Chain A
Amino acid sequence: MNLITVSGPPSSGKTSVILKTIESLKKKGFKVAVAKFDCLYTDDDKLYEKAGIPVKKGLSGALCPDHYFVSNVEEITKWGVDNKFDILISESAGLCNRCSPYIKGIKAVCVIDNLSGINTPKKIGPMLKSADIVVITKGDIVSQAEREVFASRVNTVNPAAAIMHINGLTGQGSFELSTLLYDESLNIETLKGKELRFPMPSALCSYCLGETRIGESYQMGNVRKMKMED
């Protein structure tokens, strides 16, 4: 089975792109499923179900969604392998724009949209910078000039990625993406032993553990202070 991780800021068009791309993959005879990770709430699983796509949903609740993802991705992979899917796509929102739990040897797709502003590529961390494929959506509602400027900014922060333009509403470009996803040589039976492409932040402070009171004397563990001089 191929595992493909899809990440991107909320509402960037991940679900739309995945749905359209799976249409093309199904036509080619692939068995495709989705694992949806989110924080507090998602309806995406219903959209996938409606499209006849097997889906598993995980909500991280009070935990960091990316940590939650890594802790569960092996079980999800097992579910996919047991069900003999050819392709399992994970959808997760890169909530703090910093990290995304991309895995070495697993294809990583980042979805961002043209409306997010031309400085956005600068602000997104490894989620964008270490993706193999960057999908840019919502080109239909901006000008050609804005599309070109945005794509060139993405290219500057991730020159090695294939940049694809997809319209999440009509699906234009999703067929083309579907041809880049499946790779026989990337088939896996398990994720055990695989490594993250980039370490996650080692956040563990008193507030992670439920502290609610404010003030220096309540702060323990990994605490860092702003520089206040000048």
Chain B
Amino acid sequence: MKKTELISKKISSLLNEFPFLSAFFNDNGLELKGKKELTLPEYFAEFDEDEIEDRAIDAENLISQIGEFIEQMIAFLGKDEDIVKTVTILPGTDKSGDKEDFGKLEIHQGEIISIVGPTGSGKSRLLGDIEWVAQSDTPTSRKILVNNDIPDNKWRFSSSDKLVAQLSQNMNFVMDLSVFEFVELHAESRLVENKEDVISRIINKANDLAGEKFSPDTPITSLSGGQSRALMIADTAILSKSPIILIDEIENAGIDRKRALKLLLSEDKIVLMATHDPILALMGDKRIVIKNGGIYKIIDTTEEERTILSTLEEMDKTLLAYRTKLRSGEIITEIQKENIN
């Protein structure tokens, strides 16, 4: 919208045309009561000098920010969702400056890629390259393509179009809200239309993943570790617009990890998972092995490995069963072989 147009319209008609503007006025502490029939310059002219100084109001700057905000929101609301079908990694160099030895790595929607390698080998740097959609401008000189194309700069700087969402190891909540209010807040910031539906879907999915159930009015700060992780994963799967999810280990306690990954994939995400856990590593369709800062190998999970994965999962269940027993005060007397085939 042209500046001339912006400053000639009444605020009421701006609000009519762009309802999201009320958030801008609200978040900037600008009271509109009884002033909606003014234009923006008239509105700001009504503040007296003391108010302008006290509240640090910079009319010129605010008007141009309103223009910027409108453009961003129109772009955000109007566009068809960006569908990211593939992300491609083009080789760069390892820490010694030697070229990485792979042609290119194409990752597709619905795939899980695990990333393995020793501490300090460069796993986080690889994740960082993807998040920053590197264009030979990071220490690794890698290039990232989105849908086989040089990506748009918006993936770097926009607050609403992040390429990557991260599920971090510590999933603490710091807000003093109920589960419902928390998800609602997130839904509102994403401007979803069918808010109630989305919220109850998230809470239901989270309850599917969590060992123990929780209700919408539970305070988020009193959720257990497993419940928090479950809520976080369900929320990210359903509400986050980012097409790629990075996971830094999903702890094995209190959550069904396989289902969690399935949920993410059912929302057409690409999942990248840095892990030391053999079960998670083998749950990937592929695994990237990092060595000395470079991608050393790209391995497709073999059929044999998938069979072995089921065995490992059984062993894992056995371990968990022991854990449950110990927790409930039982004394362990023998190895339960029936669980291991």
Q: Cα distance A130–B171 when bound, in Å? A: 32
Number of interface residues of A (CB under 8 A): 48
Give B275-321 interface residues, CB cut-off 8 Å to A: none
Q: Is the Cβ of A156 less than 8 Å from the Cβ of B69?
A: yes
Which residues of B are found within 8 Å of A164, using beta-carbon distances? 157
A153 within 8 A of B: yes
Q: Is the Cβ of A143 less than 8 Å from the Cβ of B159?
A: no
Q: Is the Cβ of A201 less than 8 Å from the Cβ of B185?
A: no
Q: Cα distance A137–B53 when bound, in Å? A: 30
Known contacts A145-B183, A149-B185: A158-B132 contact under CB 8 Å: no
Q: Is the Cβ of B65 less than 8 Å from the Cβ of A159?
A: yes
Give A151-175 interface residues, CB cut-off 8 Å to B: 151-160, 162-164, 170, 172-173, 175
Query: What range describes how many residues of B lie at the interface?
Result: 35 or more
Q: How far is the CB of B56 from chain A (nearest CB, A)?
A: 4
Which residues of B are found within 8 Å of A141, using beta-carbon distances? 168, 170, 172, 174
B72 within 8 A of A: yes
B175 within 8 A of A: yes
Which of A27, A121, A144, A149 meets B236, CB within 8 Å?
A144
Q: Cα distance A149–B192 when bound, in Å? A: 13
Q: How far is the CB of A128 from chain B (nearest CB, A)?
A: 10
Q: Cα distance A147–B132 when bound, in Å? A: 17
Q: Is the Cβ of B61 less than 8 Å from the Cβ of A130?
A: yes
What are 11 A-B residue pairs whose CB atoms fall within 8 Å in the complex?
A122-B28, A143-B171, A143-B173, A145-B232, A152-B160, A152-B190, A155-B159, A155-B160, A156-B24, A157-B27, A198-B56
User: Residues of B at under 8 Å CB distance from A?
Assistant: 23-24, 27-29, 50, 53-56, 58, 61, 64-65, 68-69, 72, 124, 128, 132, 137-139, 156-160, 165-168, 170-175, 182-183, 185-186, 189-190, 228, 232, 235-236, 239-240
Given contacts A139-B166, A142-B173, A144-B240, 19 further A-B contacts (CB under 8 A): A27-B139, A126-B56, A141-B170, A142-B174, A143-B168, A144-B167, A144-B168, A145-B185, A145-B236, A145-B240, A148-B165, A148-B186, A152-B160, A152-B189, A153-B189, A159-B72, A160-B64, A160-B65, A179-B137
